[in-house]
Amino acid sequence: MSKNLDFGVEQDMTPMIDIVFLLIIFFMVVTELTMNQAEIVLPVAPRAKVVEPQPGSRVLIINVSLDGKTGEDRMQLGNGEFLTEKTLFAALKGETLAFDKWEPKPNNVGEPDSAIEVLIRCDRNAPAEYFHKIFFACQKAKIYKVNLAAQYERLGNPYDVEE
Amino acid sequence: MSKPLHIIRRQRRKRPREEIKSELDMTSMIDVVFLLLIFFMVATKFKQPEGTLRSWLPRDRGTSGGAPVVNPGCRFTLQMSDNIVVCYADQTTLPLHNGVYGSDDLGQAQQDFEGEWEVYGPDLQALERHIQMRKDTYMGVAAKGLPVIIDFAKDVPSVFVVNIVDLCKKLEIDDVAFAAPEIPIED
């Protein structure tokens, strides 16, 4: 004699589905898809601080990676194409003209400098000649605020804003 | 004579119907959702926290063949020699990591080296001591304090340049500049 013990008890899946969807949304938001981006291992500098961009300022990020063919320039403006010295200068020049904000030189002599800042994200093992190339392009484009990106160790509070 | 069609339909509607219990099968959706969740959990790469070392470019251009300019500040020169980064601080050669002074003495020290560099470099503690000494004895009049100039060869890994900038920040030296490369600029 078989007896079907069906008490009509159903497990409510709604909370689980809610949580799973929340997890998916969380991971979709925080994930950094780096499929077409060059991987850059930044040097460690404990004194590097997080500097919040000032309102109305513009920071251009130049990535220097170790990827790519040997002998090629590996500079990118943002995640754009690889640039040579000339094309980098042209891009920076275009950015300064488009931004069109200028600051007087310290001695007030000569043409003013661009208010644009450049942040160099250079792989720690990339040759420093890329610094030279970027410095050249920045000088020619009248950009003199050039910062170096680095990973910091949590020795102090990295969110202390520089004065 | 048969009944009209609309009467037949009414009678059919009035016929008691069996209750059809329809349930939406959630299994496939949960499968897909879990697959998505696993994908994003595996593919997620959290962004590393990054900081910034502020610096400024020199406004002058480098010239080749000229006489060296006497500068009251501290000047570091990084050069590459046999896959070793040699650091000259004010015409003094700084020791390498772990107190090694030359390529002949590297030996086991280089094999045991487990630092973050792929090439051997200067001892950061000696570098820091040199900057501190120069800072303490600086008698200049610059408002920002001891000026530090960093010059580097093109094949030096960039991490060594960043290390010097970082040490200057540690010792609260704000006037850090890079030597202008000796390459003519075409306008």
The CA distance from A6 to the nearest CA of chain B, in Å, is 16
pLDDT > 60? residue B117 = no
Interface of A with B in 123-152 (CB under 8 A): 123-132, 135-136, 138-140, 143-152
**Mean pLDDT computed over B104-113:** 49
Q: What per-residue confidence (pLDDT) applies to A37?
A: 56
Phi, psi angle pair for B53, to nearest 5°: -105, 115
| Residue of A32, A51, A145 lying closest to B47 (CB–CB) | A32
Are B52 and A124 a contacting pair at CB < 8 A?
Answer: no
**Domain ranges for chain A:** 59-148
Total domain count for chain B? 1
- Whether B54 maps to a domain, the answer reads no
ipTM of predicted assembly, 2 dp: 0.71
SS3 content of chain B, % helix, strand, coil (to 5): 35, 20, 50
CATH number of this structure's domain A59-148: 3.30.420.270
Q: What per-residue confidence (pLDDT) applies to A72?
A: 61
Which segment, B87-91, B95-99, B128-132, B181-185, is predicted with the most confidence on average? B128-132
Q: What per-residue confidence (pLDDT) applies to A159?
A: 43
pLDDT tens column, A30-85? 776 555 456 788 888 888 888 777 777 888 899 888 765 555 667 888 878 888 88
Q: Which SS3 state, helix, strand or coil, does residue B183 take?
A: coil
How many angstroms separate the CA atoms of A43 and A121, rounded?
A: 9
Q: Which SS3 state, helix, strand or coil, does residue B51 take?
A: strand
pLDDT tens column, B23-81? 778 888 888 888 988 988 888 777 667 888 877 776 655 444 444 455 567 888 888 88
Asked if A95 contacts A86 with a C-beta cutoff of 8 angstroms, the reply is: no
- Whether B59 maps to a domain, the answer reads no
A19 touches chain B (CB under 8 A): no
8-state DSSP, B179: P
Domain boundaries, position B94: 74-178
From the list B88, B41, B181, B124, the residue with the least C-alpha distance to A24 is B41
pLDDT tens column, A72-122? 667 888 878 888 888 999 999 998 888 888 877 666 667 777 888 899 988
Instruction: Pick the more confident residue, B84 or B184.
Output: B84
How many angstroms separate the CA atoms of A56 and B86, rounded?
A: 42
pLDDT > 80? residue B115 = no
Output the DSSP codes for B120-137.
Answer: B-B-HHHHHHHHHHHHHT
Q: What per-residue confidence (pLDDT) applies to A150?
A: 87
pLDDT tens column, B76-100? 888 888 778 888 888 788 777 655 5
Asked if B174 contacts A128 with a C-beta cutoff of 8 angstroms, the reply is: no
- Whether B61 maps to a domain, the answer reads no
How many angstroms separate the CA atoms of A141 and A146, rounded?
A: 12
Inter-chain Cβ pairs, chain A and chain B, closer than 8 A: 169
Structural element, H or E, at residue B164: helix B158-170
| Residue of A17, A125, A145 lying closest to B118 (CB–CB) | A125
Are B153 and A128 a contacting pair at CB < 8 A?
Answer: yes
